[in-house]
């Protein structure tokens, strides 16, 4: 199964500020009763975006200035809390294709990478500078260079980092281990067939 090589991601961004934003805030548990992940995007950050009656709160994700953004910007330890895969799935199905933050929870980072979502880490100072630029001019084009580990915007370049295993997987198009497994199905079948415990038992 051929996957796209994700060497860079470009688009407009939206700041979702704060440290320790956990997966329950990203997608509240009551919305996880689903057969597929397809509809999760509409509930992204639901409880900080909407009142109980469904009306919208003042939040950047509701702000028309940031409509169409495809990159999330946040603080440190993004995606902490429970290990629910639904959190990055909600981000993906809401149309976001990359996250820029100061740091990530381990399992969230891995789940995001397997969806082809680069999670780039930047310093506190650079994150604030990026947020300031985006808040001032929401149409600012952000270019995330996964291969070079840098982010370019408004004529500036800031250093970004991503775990080397994730970087290598993204830029080579091998970011989903399940796809790798399916692509090697003939080899897997061959190995399985050679295992003595897989042979049918003799009938007496």
Q: pLDDT tens digits, residue range 99-142? A: 999 999 999 999 999 999 999 999 999 999 999 999 999 999 99
| Residue 203's pLDDT band (cuts 50, 70, 90) | low
Q: Please state, in angstroms and rounded to a whole number, the distance separating the CA atoms of residues 167 and 129.
A: 24
pLDDT for 116: 97
Q: What is the mean pLDDT of residues 31-35?
A: 83
User: Under a CB-based contact definition with an 8 Å cutoff, are residues 131 and 17 in contact?
Assistant: yes
User: Under a CB-based contact definition with an 8 Å cutoff, are residues 117 and 88 in contact?
Assistant: yes
Q: Is residue 157's pLDDT more than 70?
A: yes
Which stretch of DSSP H or E encloses residue 9?
strand 8-11
Domains annotated on the chain, with CATH: 8-174 (3.20.19.10)
10 Å Cβ neighbour count for 199?
9
Q: Please state, in angstroms and rounded to a whole number, the distance separating the CA atoms of residues 175 and 165.
A: 9
By DSSP bridging, strand 142-145 and strand 8-11 are: antiparallel
Full-model pTM: 0.87
């Amino acid at each position: 199964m051929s996957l796209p090589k994700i060497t860079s991601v470009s688009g407009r961004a939206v700041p979702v500020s704060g440290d320790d934003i956990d997966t329950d805030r990203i997608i509240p548990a009551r919305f996880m009763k689903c057969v597929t992940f397809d509809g999760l995007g509409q509930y992204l950050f639901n409880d900080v975006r909407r009142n109980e009656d469904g009306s919208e709160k003042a939040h950047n994700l509701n702000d028309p200035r940031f409509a169409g953004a495809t990159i999330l910007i946040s603080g440190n330890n993004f995606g902490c809390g429970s290990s629910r895969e639904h959190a990055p799935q909600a981000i993906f199905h809401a149309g976001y294709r990359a996250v820029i933050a100061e740091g990530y929870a381990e399992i969230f980072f891995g789940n995001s990478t397997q969806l082809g979502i680069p999670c780039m880490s930047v310093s506190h100072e650079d994150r604030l500078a990026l947020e300031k630029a985006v808040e001032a001019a929401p149409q600012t084009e952000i270019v995330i260079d996964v291969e070079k580990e840098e982010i370019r915007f408004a004529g500036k370049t800031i250093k970004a980092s991503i775990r080397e295993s994730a970087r290598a997987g993204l830029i080579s198009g091998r970011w989903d281990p399940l796809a790798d497994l399916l692509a090697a199905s003939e080899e897997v079948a061959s190995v399985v067939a050679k295992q003595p415990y897989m042979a049918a038992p003799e009938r007496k």
